[in-house]
Amino acid sequence: MPDGSYASVFGPLDLAGAQMLAKGADRCVFQHPHVPSLLVKVINTENYAAYLARRPLKRFYKQFQRAGACRVYLDELSEYVSASAGMPGSGTAPLARVVGVAQTSMGLGQLVEKITAEDGRIAPTLAQVFAREGVTGAMVQRLDEFFEALIEAHVVINDMSAKNIALGRNADGKAGMYLIDGFGVLPLVPLYAWSKRLNRRRMHRKYAHWLARMQREYGKVAAQSTTAP
């Protein structure tokens, strides 16, 4: 298939031989079979079905959503567009770019920017860095700046997790922290999408609680590394 052709990017894409890079509770992440700078996210249908089986109310109203499990693609694309549209000039929010959707052998997939490590492989998540190095003062300073950038861009986060933050370079080669998952508006009444001030207050509060939890959870890693012979 010719590189750069529409079909080579947007499919149909055969993921049978594609490298699976991550498997989460609701989605599986594959290396795009033809574009090194892109990832393909597809719904983990077994986990999603089990999730709905445990939540009958959600299963009831989900049947009226035409997009079904793929509604998350719309939520993240909408948030990416909203955050990017509000940036001055050619500035971008520290999010992995959402490129679009593609038909795949595993159903409709979402195409997103791949954040890479220096060796070109997929970048480590903050959870992996914390597990290796603990929560250092330098990392806290970087996190403070990262979350302030998200707040200033009026990004609404629905799942604040160290697994949803990658440390590496984007497709342009710019190094930094990038939110790769867990963004988008979920509530039926999207107050935090309507009000930047309310979202700022909520984000500051959630970030403070989350960071304290990370320091408790991963603090022993730093202590062990400083006492090791």
Residue range 38-53, pLDDT digits in tens = 999 999 877 766 666 6
Structural domains in the chain (count): 1
**Residue 66 confidence (pLDDT):** 76
Q: How far apart are CA 136 and CA 206, in angstroms?
A: 20
pLDDT of residue 69: 83
Pairing outcome for strands 38-43 and 107-113: antiparallel
Confidence of residue 92 (pLDDT cuts 50, 70, 90): confident
pLDDT at 60 over 80: no
Write out the residue range of the structural domain in which residue 215 sits. Answer: 8-226
Average pLDDT score over residue span 80-87:
90
Give domain status of residue 3, yes or no: no
As a whole number, mean pLDDT of residues 152-162 equals: 95
Query: Residue 26: which of 176, 190, 161, 207 has the closest Cα?
Result: 161
CATH number at residue 173: 1.10.510
CB atoms within 10 A of CB 65: 11
